[in-house]
Structure 1
Amino acid sequence: MLTREEVQNHLLEKGYNRAYDSWIYADEYKIGGRYIYIASIKRNHTFLVVDRATYKDLCQVKINGILLDKEIKNADFRKFEEKNGSGSYVGFYVNFDTLLAFDKFLDVVSEKEAYEGTVSSDIEDINNSPLLTPTQRQALIKARIGQGIFREGIIERWSSKCAVTGVPVLELLRASHIKPWAIASDTERLDPDNGLLLIATLDAAFDNHLISFSDDGAMLLSEKLGAGGYAVLGVSPDARLHKALNSQQKAYLREHRGKLR
């Protein structure tokens, strides 16, 4: 496990500074729009404390080397939103096997903030477009936040299961655009052929062009993932889409493959 000093030093290296008004029992750090705490507890290793939203994100992503522990309630976690009945703030312990796992944790939190900011900007653009009817505007907004016509179409197309792993829990699945939202037309943004239903880890890898798929559905990995890429993603080397692709899906994926890193 990482020590308290290792965590603090690495945060400093990454440009994150301890809040000047941190309490003695919990050092406060801000990452994007979120807060984390290093709790002072009597153990041989240290724990970070995160809020419930961040904890849920980590549960979905399931990064190797990140250890999710029990809920904790403490008055020192002053920037968390959730409180219990007695007024203490609610957080969750997190620990790390390696600095690499810690870096991946920071990436998850930072990317989440960046994603939320991008979505807000896109929704504002949709609302301000004079070319859209109210119905079109509503459909596009719901598609952008992962709801509505697009997501429903993707769920139906992939039989309510992850297109690769077959995981059938919709709460863990994301409707991922093949041709990115930013460069797609309004029609393409709502086209279920322009999407895959993926668990969060694969969705993030696909969105960042670290994985793609051949016309016969075989998963293709970026060289950046290295020799252990399949293990990092939590899939087997023969991972593939569990349904055959139609011509339009192949066309979208052909463009996506061209950007594989």
Structure 2
Amino acid sequence: MAENLNQKAAEISRKARFKLFLSEDDKPQSNKSNSYIRAIDLICEMIKRHPVGFGQIQNLWLISSSEKLESLYHFLLQESRNKHSIWFFDDQPVSYLRDGFCSAAIKQYHQFLVELRFEEALIDAYSDKLNLNGRELDLLEAKHALPNYLTEELQIPEGRDKLQLVKQRINQSVFRSIIRKNYQGRCCITGLNIPAVNRASHIIGWAKDPSKRLDPRNGLYLSATYDAAFDRHLISLDDNYRIILSTELKEFHTQESFKQHFKSIEGKLIEVPLVMPPNDEYLAVHRKLGSFN
């Protein structure tokens, strides 16, 4: 009984994380997230009834290895064109398989699993070593690289440019996910917990130092206005994680919008993560790039 409850809890957690992953690129009013989750539930039922070589991954929500997912993806594509597929059941909607929702869902789920493993590996690495150099990051990124079939739809030339774009997209997605979780999905200044308007902000810019771009201690979770101000060094944090304003920003001191959105937060302590708080040295670098007294 306890094992079943643990498995159910793990399944619910995985579904929630996958839905959040999908929501990053989901369009407003789109039902893609729910459709893909429903599609994977249907695939689990298909495999349960007719395993056809996929019996080892009957419950996709609990798998720890994604090795068979590419084969499953191609099988689903094949069956979507087969009018007499063994995975068409009278008591299940056939449109998910026939119209390509199942294959598309598996493709997205495979990408999610690769990024999830990379994210977990990064958190473990930084928790243990507190630092990764460029070489260690390269090895870790290579270990969790996306399979080729997941990058086929990228409309850019093959080779280094494509590999760099894929690597950057994965890194940005993983960093965003780590920072969002580290701050429990809330803007560390306002407490706003609406994912669509919050941003994972780098303290030391993405392009400034590749060895720090994935460090969870190099990130803040900020709503859009404060993300833009922090990125332009109009606001920063002191050694005690309190908000400071640049002299450039203070030139707007007569404006009501400045008083409402910036003067009101000056000296405020941000919500500091318990596990991996902002790095003091990174914050010092950030302050040097702005005009702070």
Higher strand share: 1
| TM-score of the aligned structures, taking structure 1 as reference length | 0.43
Higher helix share: 2
